[in-house]
């Protein structure tokens, strides 16, 4: 069972920051998961939302407003670095989700190359990079094309000799199909979710979901593992709340590994371990490590 720190260790330190990645590495995770976007001047930055998040971003000591959105892809790297993302807005619902997150004032949105430098500085030759490609087929004005992002990240990883330690994840399966074509040795992990905030599978709707690279889930009797297999995938990451033992067994029968995201309680972790998922992506790698120690 692999322990993967979500956005570093978001339950303990500011998400997608150097402070968060240091915390995850100190806890001995097998991999660090994080999100990447391209800036207007082509820098690969580590940030979850397509725009700056008012729950975590400040400038001049003041929390930013949600409107108008400050879109990452329309800002330069220098502009982005003026924002402090080292603590959560205490009035936000996000703060209630992570009451144990310790602030690290002064943290900036890092470039991917800074994450690679951090690993080099620590002489870390083991930790895997779980890189989520943040693109959307439904918000073209907010994001870059997935192939463009994938190619940029692969170039940097090759230059810095990290390609063999990386794997890509995405809800936008177009980018993952491109990974299969351009870097077939790299694991491409097909993310899935069906919620009010995001539904990239879109069961029961006419035609294929725009997120699924031409695959129509209804052609596979609603089976996400079967759809992943049809797309050439061997790695699937569903949201933990939707995952059942039947899903895991079906995926494994198709030769697909299963990575659940993002349980943070001991009970949920134990349930997933009993299903024999292959990895858990969590905001609380400290809890997961203890659970694994008690349940070898």
Assess if residue 103 is contained within a domain: no
Query: Assign residue 276 a region: left if phi > 0, alpha if psi is -120 to 50, beta otherwise?
Result: left
Tens-digit pLDDT profile for the chain (296 aa)? Answer: 999 999 999 999 999 999 999 999 999 999 999 999 999 999 999 999 999 999 999 999 999 998 899 999 999 999 999 999 999 999 999 999 999 999 999 999 999 999 999 999 999 999 999 999 999 999 989 999 999 999 999 999 999 999 999 999 999 999 999 999 999 999 999 999 999 889 999 999 999 999 999 999 999 999 999 999 999 999 999 999 999 999 999 999 999 999 999 999 999 999 999 999 999 999 999 999 999 999 98
Q: How is residue 217 written in tokens?
A: 């889930």
Backbone angles phi, psi at 203, to 5 degrees: -60, 140
On the 0-12 / 13-18 / 19+ scale of CB atoms within 10 A, 135 is: buried
Q: Give Cα 244 distance to the centre of its chain.
A: 21
Residue 75 lies inside a defined structural domain of this protein:
no
User: Which domain, by its residues, includes 149?
Assistant: 2-53+109-294
Comparing CA positions, the residue from 230, 239, 233, 285 lying closest to residue 261 is 239
Q: Residue 221 maps to which CATH number?
A: 3.20.20.190
Angle between helices 266-275 and 285-294 (to 10 degrees): 60
Q: Strands, DSSP E only, in 158-293?
A: 166-170, 188-192, 235-238, 257-261, 279-282
The answer to whether the pTM exceeds 0.95 is: yes
Structure tokens at 110: 């890092």
Q: Are strands 62-63 and 58-59 parallel, antiparallel or unpaired?
A: antiparallel
Q: With the CA atoms of 66, 72, 78 and 81 taken in that order, what torsion angle do they form, in degrees rounded to the nearest 10?
A: 50
pLDDT for the residue 66: 87
> Strands 44-46 and 31-38, how do they pair?
antiparallel
Q: What is the DSSP letter of 103?
A: P
User: Does residue 91 sit within a domain?
Assistant: no
Would residue 94 count as lying in a domain?
Answer: no
Q: How many domains does the chain fold into?
A: 1
Task: Tell me, yes or no, whether 83 lies in a domain.
Answer: no
Phi first, then psi: what are they for 2, rounded to 5°?
-90, 140
Residue 79 lies in a domain: no
Nearest CA to 114 among 81, 72, 143?
81
Is 220 contained in some domain?
yes
**Angle between helices 173-182 and 146-159 in degrees, nearest 10:** 40
pLDDT the model gives residue 196: 83
68 is a domain residue: no
pLDDT attached to residue 171: 99
Run of H or E residues at 159: helix 146-159
What span, in angstroms and rounded, lies between the C-alpha atoms of 50 and 74? 10
């Amino acid at each position: 069972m692999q322990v993967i720190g979500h956005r570093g260790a978001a339950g303990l330190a500011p998400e997608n920051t150097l402070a968060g990645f240091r915390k995850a590495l100190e806890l001995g995770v097998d991999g660090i998961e994080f999100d990447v976007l391209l800036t207007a001047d082509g820098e690969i930055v580590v940030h979850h939302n397509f725009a700056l998040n008012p729950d975590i971003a400040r400038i001049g000591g003041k929390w930013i407003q949600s409107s108008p959105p400050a879109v990452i892809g329309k800002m330069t790297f220098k502009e982005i670095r003026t924002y402090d993302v080292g603590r959560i807005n205490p009035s936000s619902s996000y703060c209630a989700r992570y009451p144990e997150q310790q602030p690290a004032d002064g943290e900036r949105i890092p470039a991917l190359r800074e994450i690679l430098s951090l690993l080099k500085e620590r002489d870390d030759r083991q930790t895997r990079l779980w890189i989520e490609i943040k693109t959307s087929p439904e918000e073209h004005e907010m994001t870059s094309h997935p192939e463009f992002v994938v190619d940029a990240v692969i170039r940097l990883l090759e230059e810095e000799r990290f390609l063999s330690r990386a794997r890509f994840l995405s809800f936008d399966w177009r980018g993952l199909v491109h990974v299969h074509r351009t870097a077939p040795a790299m694991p491409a992990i097909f993310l899935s979710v069906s919620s009010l905030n995001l539904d990239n599978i879109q069961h029961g709707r006419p035609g294929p979901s725009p997120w699924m690279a031409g695959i129509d889930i209804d052609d596979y009797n609603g089976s996400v593992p079967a759809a992943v297999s049809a797309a050439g995938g061997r790695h699937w990451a569903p949201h933990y709340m939707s995952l059942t033992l039947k899903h895991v067994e079906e995926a494994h029968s198709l030769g697909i590994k299963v990575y659940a995201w993002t349980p943070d309680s001991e009970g949920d972790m134990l349930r997933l371990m009993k299903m024999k998922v292959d990895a858990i992506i969590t905001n609380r790698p400290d809890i997961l490590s203890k659970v694994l120690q008690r349940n070898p």
